[in-house]
Structure 1
């Protein structure tokens, strides 16, 4: 691999945003079809993948020095690229500490370690400030729904951000599970936790609040009864990178603030 790599393909959106924030976007030659941050990426960079699939010939035609992937769900893509002789770095962050590590690692990979350290520290300071600002405020019980059929509760970094924003995840144990299949919950499970707020972000598709509110027995849930069912757009919260630490967290803060002001 050339160092620093001059031609990078990013198969998930969080590394795209990180490289732009580091001012290293000129190295990017291909991105995931889900990359929308910053907005100009949609017109500046060719799209070469979905999430669990990629156009391997198109990736190879870009002659990348490095391909950045994420999680076991892209393991087959990574393996195919490795067999084709491409250098691949596979991230697997599932919590906030992992997000900070990703930012620092991306910086190191492109020879911008100092800028990455400054960026990561700015986010760390922001999160500490927000956590301090909500101390002493009433803490709502929050159910975060990552998918609807089956119902999947929030992953680690989402649960942590709910806590930083001043709420309590109703399924904190589930949040520690890395695989989505291990975070499946039943309708009765959710009803039993009696959440004050339902936050929904169905990865890759629009949330339908009416569908949530009409689930059998859910009229007993305080969040449903009092109208505190809120969609958070998936690009803001379900990508483990800068978006979640900024606009994603801000969306949670607004939802919790609205609940407190009821």
Structure 2
């Protein structure tokens, strides 16, 4: 890192972008992922330099970053390429609510806003606890969260946690803790057997078609299908492990369960 706090930061995923904006440190952002949509003005204010599993390395280098923020093993090759070019890289790997909060605190500390980040994370913790307490002792509908449709992939750790916080019961708790999507593939027969009361889908950039979900063979026996309780949550709200999931994403789950 050439300077501390870093003056020019490139964020290759959405959640670190939103965190820096919330901390009032958006002027440090030199480039973003093409998937960055929060806040809305980021699309007009910051150059896009990457997709999710690919990046324009020359374009990133031309921005002369002090620090590049990446996420997960899926961006490991990008991180390695940048490290070989002498760029400082920080790779996050948050997969649960505690990890999201830790990421917020760490990003804040990295840009010299540790106290502000601590306050923001504490606000989220208080709100989450309040919502969880509000649902204690109430009936918990079983929820199947579908992250992708072909193959069917059930929700990752933080999504499962937020479902429980919102008062639901995760349909596949044994799979929620598995980081890799391939380890969370479920069959139609498994979902039918789980008999979820609510189905929530977020197909990562592809529009959810409830009528196609309900038309799957044998799914007419599922309570969620029978009762018309199939909901979509837009992927930027729930599939990015950052502030969006803890706020608008959680609110969308609460609405689906109401």
Query: Normalised by the shorter chain, which TM-score bucket?
Result: over 0.9
Post-superposition CA distance 1:36-72 (Å, at most 9, x none): 0011101000001000000111111000000000000
CA offset at residue 160 of structure 1?
0.2
**In structure 2, what is the Cα distance between the partners aligned to 1:105 and 1:95?**
15
TM-score computed with the length of structure 2 as normaliser = 0.99
**TM-score, normalized by length of structure 1?**
0.97
Counterpart of 1:79 in 2: which secondary structure?
A: helix
Counterpart CA distance in 1 for 2:99 and 2:144 is 23
Matches within 5 A, 1:93-172: 93-172=94-173
Equivalent residues, number = 257
Q: Describe the superposition over 1:138-193 as per-residue Cα deviations: whole angstroms up to 9, x where unpaired.
A: 21000000001110000000000000000000101100101110000001000000
Unaligned runs of 5+ in 1: 258-262
**Map 1:16-165 → 2, pairs under 5 A:** 16-165=17-166
Structure 1 residue aligned with 2:246: 245
Counterpart CA distance in 1 for 2:153 and 2:135 is 27
**Superimposed CA distance per residue, residues 82-123 of structure 1 (whole angstroms, 9 cap, x where no aligned partner):** 001100000000000100110011011111100000000000
Aligned to 1:10: 11
Distance in 1, matches of 2:228 and 2:167, equals 19
In 1, distance between residues paired with 2:208 and 2:11?
27
Distance 2:109 2:182 in 1: 33
Q: Following the alignment from structure 1 to structure 2, what is the Cα–Cα distance between the partners of residues 204 and 15? A: 19
What root-mean-square deviation, in Å, do the aligned CA atoms of Structure 1 and Structure 2 show?
Answer: 0.5
